[in-house]
């Protein structure tokens, strides 16, 4: 009986010591992890700054049954991703080389700070998480060897996945020039825009959302997949384009509408297929033009330059599996006129000579 009392007293003393130890733990924490990525800074920043990519690399919540929802605008300040009922990450600042985010998890508020520094041709990416610890979280932290031991690996694995995206997903691509084809006539809706080359992925994505909302609200029947129509321009840093969606019937719109109903007649073009990330499109256009020069075709600079996203987000998340077709218009070769050999009416017909 005495032994039981001693054991109970010992347990109470241990529990008291444990409570005191937990209570004296720091009420705040700060953890920083970093990685060097073999990609220019602007590409890494744009990737992390877009919540449409977030679920591909984050390690904060990996339960397959969790449904994530993001804001309509997934990029930059005020964009967010949410899950469960009271968990979210909200971007409060994003510019040039840094991103600040508020991380709310079960009423516990933490902050995430991202920094992207140029390191030669590479990028040094770092992320710091800061927060307060409740008494319960202190207990969990102590039992798991400290908060750094379970939160640190999550941050590092997130950085590793971001790095893997640029190493594996962006590095793998294939370009095939498939030659001369006839593009059939088609009705389509278009919305025009222009932007810097580096801004094209996010700008075109936003434009496509606007088009899809217009189509849905007007119950318009569509065909095939969206495409982009590019316009020739002398500024190599700028893209002038129209985001287009094929439709079954021609749509008539008012002249002042930003979205216009259009159609084009069939035309000849050189077709090329890119399998891989959009960053390789420049190589695909160059390879197509080289083919045109080699085969002595003539580019129709007043024609329709088209890019069709056959496989892309959100249906396919991995950039190495994206499929894009590009078409450069070609001037139809005129058949050379047949040479007609005229007969000389003044010629004397040959006669047989007598032996």
Domain ranges of the chain: 13-169, 175-329
Residue 301, CA atoms < 13 Å, CB-side half-sphere: 3
**What is the CB neighbour count within 10 angstroms for residue 165?**
22
Beta carbons of 167 and 35 less than 8 angstroms apart: no
- Residue 100 CB partners (closer than 8 Å, separation 6+): 91, 92, 93, 94, 111, 112, 113, 114
Q: Based on the number of CB atoms within 10 Å of its own CB, is 217 exposed (0-12), middle (13-18) or buried (19 or more)?
A: exposed
pLDDT of amino acid 16: 56
Q: Please list the rounded mean pLDDT of every run of 10 residues in the chain (355 residues).
A: 62 54 60 92 90 84 74 90 87 93 85 93 93 60 60 89 87 93 93 86 82 90 90 81 92 88 93 91 93 94 91 78 94 69 53 47
**What is the CB neighbour count within 10 angstroms for residue 218?**
11
Q: What is the Cα–Cα distance from 312 to 215, expressed in whole angstroms?
A: 20
- Residue 331 CB partners (closer than 8 Å, separation 6+): 268, 297, 298, 299, 300
Q: What is the Cα–Cα distance from 239 to 230, expressed in whole angstroms?
A: 7
Tell me: the pLDDT tens digits for 15-36? 555 444 445 555 577 889 999 9
Residue 295: phi and psi, rounded to 5, are -85, 0
Residue 267: phi and psi, rounded to 5, are -150, 160
pLDDT of amino acid 355: 44
DSSP structural state of residue 260? E
Q: What is the Cα–Cα distance from 50 to 201, expressed in whole angstroms?
A: 11
Distance of CA 85 to the CA centre of its chain: 28
pLDDT of amino acid 233: 76
pLDDT of amino acid 345: 52
- Please give the C-alpha separations between residue 168 and each of 23, 39, 56, 82, 161, in angstroms, as whole numbers: 46, 12, 13, 28, 10
Beta carbons of 141 and 25 less than 8 angstroms apart: yes
- Residue 129 CB partners (closer than 8 Å, separation 6+): 29, 30, 31, 103, 110, 111, 112, 113, 151, 155
Query: pTM score, two decimals?
Result: 0.65
Q: What is the Cα–Cα distance from 269 to 115, expressed in whole angstroms?
A: 45
Handedness of CA 43, 44, 46, 52 (dihedral sign): positive
Q: Return the CATH superfamily for domain 13-169.
A: START domain (3.30.530.20)
Per-residue tokens: 81: 């991703």
Q: Return the CATH superfamily for domain 175-329.
A: Regulatory factor, effector binding domain (3.20.80.10)
**Strand 305-311, strand 267-275: pairing:** unpaired
CA angle, residues 272, 277, 280, in degrees to nearest 5 = 55
Place of tokens 């991103």: 99
């Amino acid at each position: 009986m005495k032994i039981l009392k001693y054991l109970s007293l010992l347990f109470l003393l241990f529990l008291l010591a444990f409570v005191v130890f937990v209570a004296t733990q720091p009420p705040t924490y700060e953890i920083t992890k970093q990685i060097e990525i073999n990609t220019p800074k602007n590409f890494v920043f744009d990737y992390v700054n877009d919540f449409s990519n977030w679920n591909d690399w984050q390690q904060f919540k990996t339960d397959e049954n969790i449904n994530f929802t993001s804001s309509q605008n997934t990029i930059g300040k005020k964009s967010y991703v949410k899950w469960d009922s009271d968990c979210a990450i909200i971007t409060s600042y994003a510019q040039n080389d840094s991103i600040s985010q508020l991380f709310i998890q079960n009423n516990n508020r933490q902050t995430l700070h991202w920094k992207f520094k140029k390191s030669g041709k590479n990028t040094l990416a770092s992320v710091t998480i800061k927060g307060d610890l409740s008494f319960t979280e202190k207990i969990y932290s102590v039992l798991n060897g400290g908060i750094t031991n379970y939160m640190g690996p999550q941050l590092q694995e997130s950085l590793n996945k971001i790095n893997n995206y640029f190493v594996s997903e962006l590095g793998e691509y294939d370009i095939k020039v498939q030659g001369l084809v006839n593009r059939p006539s088609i009705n389509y809706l278009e919305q025009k825009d222009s932007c810097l080359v580096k801004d094209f992925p996010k700008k075109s994505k936003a434009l496509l959302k606007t088009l899809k909302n217009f189509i849905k609200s007007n119950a318009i029947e569509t065909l095939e997949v969206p495409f982009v129509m590019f316009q020739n321009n002398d500024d190599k840093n700028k893209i002038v384009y129209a985001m287009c969606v094929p439709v079954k019937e021609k749509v008539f719109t008012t002249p002042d509408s930003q979205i216009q109903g259009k159609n084009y007649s069939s035309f000849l073009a050189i077709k090329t297929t890119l399998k891989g990330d959009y960053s390789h499109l420049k190589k695909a256009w160059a390879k197509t033009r080289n083919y045109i020069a080699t085969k002595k075709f003539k580019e129709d600079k007043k024609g329709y330059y088209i890019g069709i996203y056959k496989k892309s987000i959100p249906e396919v998340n991995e950039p190495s599996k994206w499929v894009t077709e590009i078409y450069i218009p070609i001037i139809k070769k005129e058949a050379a006129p047949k040479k007609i050999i005229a007969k000389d009416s003044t010629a004397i017909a040959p006669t047989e000579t007598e032996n």
